[in-house]
Amino acid sequence: MTHCEFFPAQNESRISDDVLKQGQPPRRANRFSKLALLAARALGEIKNERLGLIVGTALGPHESTSQVHNDMMDFGDANVSPTAFSHSVHNVAAAYIAQALNIHGPCLTVTDFENVAERCRELAHCWLADGTCDAVLVVTLDEAGFVFDRIEAEMSALFARESATSFLLVKGSE
């Protein structure tokens, strides 16, 4: 298994924009997608015709989702940007990764508030065991934002910070 992790610098809540640029994100990508690309590309080139992709998140692109909801309330649903709307969907990160890495195998986004990495790993093992794929790229991520801040305020404790992690499971080595 190959593994890579990204966390904010000490005393920071977000990964710096300079670090995000290492993922070579498209111009219109939202922060959530930039985090996903950073983690996915950090593993280097993955050559496998039968590569699956699993993206895991607790909260998804909550900053983009909230912006779309605010725009709908302020300007009506007919005036919401189609690009902004597409970036509000949890599966947007998987779409960016699949396009950037030319992945044509199965692709799924898993949402779980507690054990998203473990759920993704379980699914990846199932895909490998039943022959769906020969390798599975797993990317787990969450962006910092007002939802994290609100959870921390309500719980009077540090919830989590922005992070992006990737690992590659290969058939026969799991």
- Residue at 137 is within a domain: yes
What range does the domain containing 9 cover? 2-61+90-170
Whether 66 is in a domain gets the answer no
Q: Is residue 146 part of a domain?
A: yes
CATH number (domain holding residue 164): 3.40.47.10
pLDDT for 2: 81
- Kindly report, residue by residue over 78-110, the tens digit of the pLDDT: 877 777 766 667 789 999 999 999 999 999 999
Q: pLDDT, tens digit, for every residue of 96-145? A: 999 999 999 999 999 988 889 999 999 999 999 999 999 999 999 998 87
Q: Residue 145 falls within a domain, yes or no?
A: yes
Instruction: Report if residue 82 sits inside a domain.
Output: no
With respect to residue 70, please indicate whether it lies within any of the assigned structural domains: no
- Give the pLDDT of residue 36: 94
Compute the residue count for the chain.
174
pTM equals: 0.86
Mean pLDDT of the chain: 85
Number of domains in the chain: 1
Q: Does 85 map to a domain?
A: no
Asked if the structure places residue 97 within a domain, the reply is yes
Residue 76 has pLDDT above 60, yes or no: yes
